[in-house]
Chains A and B, each alone.
Chain A
């Protein structure tokens, strides 16, 4: 994408300052200010795609960082995202484009609620002349397939941000391809290199919205090729963990109570949040088992440690949680190996100076 228009515009509208001003406005949930800012940029001649990807998306990226660092609350982050949704809608309303290409259905994977990146992809495709049906967040498989039968698009663009949705995204990809519609996969869940997109049978993958538009312009097969004996994903351990998730979590919680004294003083809500956090560990572990990928799990552990340390929760608590999972899942060697790698990652992410955690 060209830098022109972003840096060469009138004073004060360069990309950097525009992003800063945009971030400030959405941080205050100032919808009118944010909408005026993006529409002014467009009126000044900045291409709408650049405004979407280099201002709105860039601003949202900062929002994510600010939340992860503990600087912004969940409420503020959600407020900012809602304003960005309005800004994207305003851009879509201001810039019309004539459909000159085929028809694309854009949807978030089942269970995926982070719709904004996928929504922006939908707008970029619309700007590039596609006829786009955007189905929104968390689209259940049957809903999507009904839509495909009713509208007959040339391709489905499926967005998935959180790796725990990969097993359901896999089912959706397979269902789309079974009705003959090729799938382009995108979003962080498919891996920085798109390896999970290929693994789950997507016909194409793109790391960014503009790359996705380029990839679609290059053409996909008009009929999804038959999968040659699709990779068998998931295994006994994955099946065990997903079927017995509740029991596993209950046992880990019990062990945690025994080995972590402060838990005795937890309120019911604190206990519930702890159970939720342990639930995330279980879900990422299951996803890593499903796609046979340790990095998926260690990345999650490292990220969690960073988020927690920003909230003054020591990485040791993550190491402890992982160790208890390993104890409970003693009969699952693959899960055990993943958890061991997770513990190593958590230990490595620990800020220096603390006492070394005991890993047995």
Chain B
């Protein structure tokens, strides 16, 4: 600069420091001089407008001090920063980036983030994040009040990590001016401007300072508001201008649409979850004298229900019923079956079979008669193609930790039995499928399990899985028997898991049917066995690697 120190123009009037300050303050560009350590020596008025945190004597906020030139987001706006050497010091020149691209960027980001998730909380988080990134210093979304007069809120504060959230009484939330109307879908004044001086304590975090401008507006949803939003600018920042108000309208309409879609999805998911709950396999109970383990994989990956099913019916003692109805005493009973079809429709029929059996069991306990009754009930069902195959097994505890398994099979692959010496046999039970013919033919069988021996019930999704090294070979019963034999001595849940893993690896990501496994092992606990059936081939490499191991 020439003339600043008066060295070149002796005799003429000199610029005073006051003149210099006025000159700098008159610039639209923010001008900051800082020392080599980044501490501000002087800053003009435009710099203070753009970033109130730039104060002489304090370090420049690190985002605003890049090497060279760059665009940075700071305090809800995009600032172009240019750094130049100035003698021993450095000068920063700050200017706000043109606003049109800013709005375009805002719209792109809003579309990307607001519609990414179908979860209301995630949508609300995206909305408040967008608010503080593009528009304000603090943004809060208040979701519609629940029936218990409490509301969920999500708040983001510029410069703070991730949004916070919580629940509060509706009456406390409504201390925000204009919120009552906003939650009812009404907007006041210019874009919902409210008295910033009337902001309640809960809205602002400690140390935030006074609010200078406050907008409170509804998030329009499907005929009912999806919530309300409040945006705050803190002292030192300008009030929301027309440009900002236009962006606020964009934010409100998009966030409202996203939130209402998410709320709809949540409602439907909740209904779905209730309906599905009875169709999912039950948690397996502890049964005296034996161990149970089961696995179910559905071909419909997102739905998690299908036509394969299993269930456990705990023993009925008959005692304690003085209602005059003769309740039949019986041991615990397990079933595993497969209904015709796939997906939700099949799952509903499977659920009906399980419920029918629960009722029938109150009056009948003999496996063959149960199948007969179930067949009649299926034939009477109005649903078409109510064909079911299943295995029914009554589990009787016998002396010396033996378990006697009374099996009745209806059109289903007969269970496999793993003996202590590692041999595998097929249970001799046979029978016709249910729901097709008036007369069922069932040939029951009883299997005696010594301690440690296993009876495995499975569905044909396991044996009829196509895959293998060539990708088009059926897994087949022989391979299942061999896999089961390799599990001798394993705890029963490890056995079931291993069989499922072998089956999945056979499928290698190919098309899969529903697959079910249910195993019972005699003996109250998995005994220590020294049986070493070491046919160690190279199983999956890296089998036992642990997170803690990869510190290399």
Q: How far is the CA of A70 from the CA of B533 in the complex (A)?
A: 12
B525 contacts across to A, CB distance below 8 A: 31-32
Q: Are B490 and A79 within 8 A (Cβ)?
A: yes
Q: How far is the CA of A211 from the CA of B542 in the complex (A)?
A: 21
A117 within 8 Å of B (CB atoms): yes
**Of residues B163, B273, B498, B531, which shows the largest number of chain A Cβ atoms within 10 Å of its Cβ?**
B498
0/1 per residue, B525-542, Cβ < 8 Å to A? 111111111111111111
Quick one: which of A249, A304, A311 contacts B541, CB cutoff 8 A? A304
Q: Min CB distance, B262 to chain A, in Å?
A: 8
- Which interface class (under 10, 10 to 19, 20 to 34, 35 or more) fits B? 35 or more
Q: How far is the CA of A120 from the CA of B269 in the complex (A)?
A: 29
**Given known A148-B119, A207-B551, A208-B550, contact A223–B487 (CB-CB < 8 A):** no
Stretch among A181-189, A335-343, A345-353 lining the B interface: A181-189
Quick one: which of B273, B301, B536, B547 contacts A186, CB cutoff 8 A? B547
Report how many residues on chain A are interfacial, defined by Cβ distance under 8 Å. Answer: 95
B163 contacts across to A, CB distance below 8 A: 222
Stretch among B49-57, B436-444, B465-473 lining the A interface: B465-473
A31 contacts across to B, CB distance below 8 A: 491, 525-526
0/1 per residue, A207-221, Cβ < 8 Å to B? 111001000000101
**Of residues B497, B504, B532, B548, which shows the largest number of chain A Cβ atoms within 10 Å of its Cβ?**
B548
Quick one: which of B117, B489, B537 contacts A276, CB cutoff 8 A? B537
Q: Are B486 and A192 within 8 A (Cβ)?
A: no
Q: How far is the CA of A345 from the CA of B297 in the complex (A)?
A: 39
Quick one: which of B113, B117, B495 contacts A149, CB cutoff 8 A? B117
A178 contacts across to B, CB distance below 8 A: 116
B372 within 8 Å of A (CB atoms): no
- For chain A, residues 71 to 123, give those with C-beta under 8 angstroms from any C-beta of chain B: 73-79, 81-83, 85, 110-111, 113-114, 116-118, 120-121
**Identity of the chain A residue whose Cβ is nearest the Cβ of B119 in the assembled complex:** A152
Q: Are B501 and A113 within 8 A (Cβ)?
A: yes
Q: Are B541 and A181 within 8 A (Cβ)?
A: no
Q: How far is the CA of A152 from the CA of B263 in the complex (A)?
A: 12
- For chain A, residues 5 to 51, give those with C-beta under 8 angstroms from any C-beta of chain B: 28-32
B274 contacts across to A, CB distance below 8 A: none
How many cross-chain pairs have Cβ atoms below 8 Å apart between A and B? 227
Q: Are B533 and A73 within 8 A (Cβ)?
A: yes
Determine chain B's interface SS by DSSP, over half rule.
loop
B552 within 8 Å of A (CB atoms): yes
0/1 per residue, A136-166, Cβ < 8 Å to B? 0110111101101111101000010111000
- For chain B, residues 442 to 471, give those with C-beta under 8 angstroms from any C-beta of chain A: 468-471
- For chain B, residues 97 to 151, give those with C-beta under 8 angstroms from any C-beta of chain A: 112-113, 116-122, 125-126, 129
Q: Are A168 and B498 within 8 A (Cβ)?
A: no
A179 within 8 Å of B (CB atoms): yes
**Given known A29-B529, A78-B490, A311-B536, contact A219–B469 (CB-CB < 8 A):** no
Q: Are A81 and B535 within 8 A (Cβ)?
A: no
Q: Are A152 and B547 within 8 A (Cβ)?
A: no
**Given known A75-B533, A143-B302, contact A64–B544 (CB-CB < 8 A):** yes
Q: Are B546 and A143 within 8 A (Cβ)?
A: no
A30 contacts across to B, CB distance below 8 A: 528
Q: How far is the CA of A29 from the CA of B490 in the complex (A)?
A: 8
**Given known A58-B548, A307-B541, contact A152–B471 (CB-CB < 8 A):** no
**Given known A150-B269, A180-B122, contact A79–B494 (CB-CB < 8 A):** yes
A→B interface (CB under 8 Å): 28-32, 53, 57-58, 60-61, 63-65, 67-68, 70, 73-79, 81-83, 85, 110-111, 113-114, 116-118, 120-121, 137-138, 140-143, 145-146, 148-152, 154, 159, 161-163, 168, 178-181, 186-189, 191-193, 207-209, 212, 219, 221-223, 226, 245-246, 249-250, 269, 272-273, 275-280, 284, 300, 303-304, 307-308, 311
What would 12 A/B residue contacts be, using CB atoms closer than 8 Å?
Answer: A60-B544, A64-B545, A74-B535, A79-B489, A179-B117, A188-B545, A221-B162, A277-B537, A277-B538, A280-B541, A307-B541, A308-B538
